[in-house]
């Protein structure tokens, strides 16, 4: 499944199985990496990357927060992403640029370790399972909270931060749910293990504040933009846990998850237990852009 011909590694395209790192790489011990997840869509006008500039910018910002100096320019990495997709003959794929600390330091202090960059691409379908874009997913409120402020920086998309996401995801799966929703350190709704969350009630769309230990995603931003274009009121605000149970609709957003409806939370049915009309309208507009290649907001980079 996660396989293709080539991976771009430190400046050159190498065979998938040759893209290796040493076990004494700093990243393997301390989680010192930053990364991105980008989708390339097979639109009616050709293959196009969604939010390429924004994702590459965020890779730089995540790295800046963790004092990682990437030894390439943003343009070089964008070009490398496109070369990798072409080398793998993908029409549509998921793109994973990864920056990590390599060999040279064995202690916590990372500064003597090398900084390495890899870009992998592979063909990937729906993130949370087949049919979920229509039927929705069952989720639970996790017993694990998101990162508290000033512990790990939630605005950085960094490897170590995802130890928290793994706890949320594994607990949800072992309890029979597709995904876990985490509360922030104050007990307000924050996000899923790899998605932002939206709650619809009385035709108003609510989403947690960017400062609430979330990764403020580009899909979240796109959905807020589309919602306003469609005339909905969107409020970024604190959402108490109980608002989930009495919501008319809930959906999750992310590059991988796209716009995924939630049909139950903690086995309490949401709305009529399938995709609601607001979710459907937003999904329709979003998927129209990435499938047709009509790009009214300049979100696509054709390759």
Shortest distance in whole angstroms from residue 49 CB to ligand PMP: 13
Regarding beta strands 93-101 and 38-43, do their DSSP bridges make them parallel or antiparallel, or are they unpaired?
antiparallel
Applying CB under 6 A, among 97, 110, 208, 254 the residue interacting with ligand PMP is 254
157 belongs to the catalytic site: yes
Length of the chain: 303
Applying CB under 6 A, among 25, 34, 84, 196 the residue interacting with ligand PMP is 196
Residues from 7 through 66 that contact ligand PMP (CB under 6 A): 37
CB atoms within 10 A of CB 126: 13
Q: What angle (nearest 5°) sits at the alpha carbon of residue 115, between those of residues 113 and 117?
A: 150
Considering beta carbons, is residue 196 or 212 the nearer one to ligand PMP? 196
CB atoms within 10 A of CB 19: 16
Shortest distance in whole angstroms from residue 107 CB to ligand PMP: 28
Is 90 among the residues that bind ligand PMP (CB under 6 A)? no
Considering beta carbons, is residue 98 or 113 the nearer one to ligand PMP? 98
- 299: Cα within 13 Å, side-chain hemisphere: 26
SS3 annotation, 114-150:
CEEEEEEEECCCCCCCCCHHHHCEEEEECCCCCCCCC
DSSP state of 189: E
- Active-site position among 140, 157, 228, 288: 157
Shortest distance in whole angstroms from residue 58 CB to ligand PMP: 7
Is 194 among the residues that bind ligand PMP (CB under 6 A)? yes
Considering beta carbons, is residue 47 or 154 the nearer one to ligand PMP? 154
Considering beta carbons, is residue 102 or 217 the nearer one to ligand PMP? 217
Q: Taking the C-alpha atoms of 212, 214, 216 and 219 in order, what is their torsion angle to the nearest 10 degrees?
A: -130
Q: What are the residues facing 258 on neighbouring strands?
A: 254
Number of residues that bind ligand PMP (CB under 6 A): 15
Helix axes 277-292, 218-229, angle to 10 degrees: 110
As given in the structure block, the two tokens for residue 100 are 């990590």
Helix axes 52-65, 218-229, angle to 10 degrees: 130
Shortest distance in whole angstroms from residue 18 CB to ligand PMP: 27
Shortest distance in whole angstroms from residue 191 CB to ligand PMP: 5
The stretch near ligand PMP (CB under 6 A) out of 80-88, 170-178, 251-259, 279-287 is 251-259
Binding string to ligand PMP for residues 215 to 234, with x set by CB under 6 A, is what?
x-xxxx--------------
Considering beta carbons, is residue 43 or 165 the nearer one to ligand PMP? 165
- 246: Cα within 13 Å, side-chain hemisphere: 6
Is 258 among the residues that bind ligand PMP (CB under 6 A)? no
Considering beta carbons, is residue 41 or 113 the nearer one to ligand PMP? 41
Shortest distance in whole angstroms from residue 211 CB to ligand PMP: 14
Considering beta carbons, is residue 214 or 270 the nearer one to ligand PMP? 214
Q: Taking the C-alpha atoms of 132, 133, 135 and 137 in order, what is their torsion angle to the nearest 10 degrees?
A: 50
Is 180 among the residues that bind ligand PMP (CB under 6 A)? no
Q: Which residues, including other chains, have CB under 8 Å from residue 237's CB and lie 6 or more apart? A: 206, 207, 208, 209
Please identify every residue annotated as catalytic.
Answer: 157
**Residues forming the site for ligand PMP (CB under 6 A):** 37, 165, 191, 194-196, 214-215, 217-220, 253-255
């Amino acid at each position: 499944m996660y396989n293709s011909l080539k991976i771009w590694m430190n400046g050159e395209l190498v065979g998938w199985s040759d893209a290796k790192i040493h076990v004494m790489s700093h990243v393997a011990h301390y989680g010192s990496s930053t990364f991105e997840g980008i989708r390339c869509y097979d639109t009616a006008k050709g293959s196009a990357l969604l939010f390429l500039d924004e994702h590459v910018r965020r890779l730089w910002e995540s790295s800046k927060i963790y004092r990682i100096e990437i030894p390439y320019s943003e343009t070089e990495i964008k070009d490398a992403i496109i070369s990798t997709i072409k080398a793998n003959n993908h029409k549509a794929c998921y793109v994973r640029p990864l920056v990590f600390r390599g060999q040279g330091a064995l202690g916590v202090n990372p500064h003597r370790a090398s900084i390495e960059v890899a870009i992998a691409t592979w063909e990937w379908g729906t993130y949370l399972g087949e049919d979920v874009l229509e039927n929705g997913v069952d989720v639970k409120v996790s017993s694990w909270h998101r990162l508290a402020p000033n512990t790990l920086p939630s605005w950085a998309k960094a490897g170590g931060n995802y130890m928290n996401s793994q706890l949320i995801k594994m607990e949800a799966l072992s309890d029979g749910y597709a995904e876990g929703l985490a509360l922030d350190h104050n007990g307000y709704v924050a996000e899923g293990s790899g998605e932002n969350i939206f709650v619809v009630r009385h035709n108003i769309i609510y989403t947690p504040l960017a400062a609430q230990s979330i990764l403020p995603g580009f899909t979240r931003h796109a959905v807020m933009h589309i919602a306003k274009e469609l005339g909905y009121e969107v409020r970024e605000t604190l959402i108490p846990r109980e608002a989930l149970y009495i919501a008319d609709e809930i959906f999750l957003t992310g590059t991988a998850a796209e716009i995924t409806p939630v049909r139950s939370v903690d086995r309490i049915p949401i709305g009529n237990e399938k995709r609601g009309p607001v979710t459907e309208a937003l999904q329709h507009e979003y998927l129209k852009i990435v499938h047709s290649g009509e790009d009214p907001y300049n979100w696509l980079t054709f390759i």
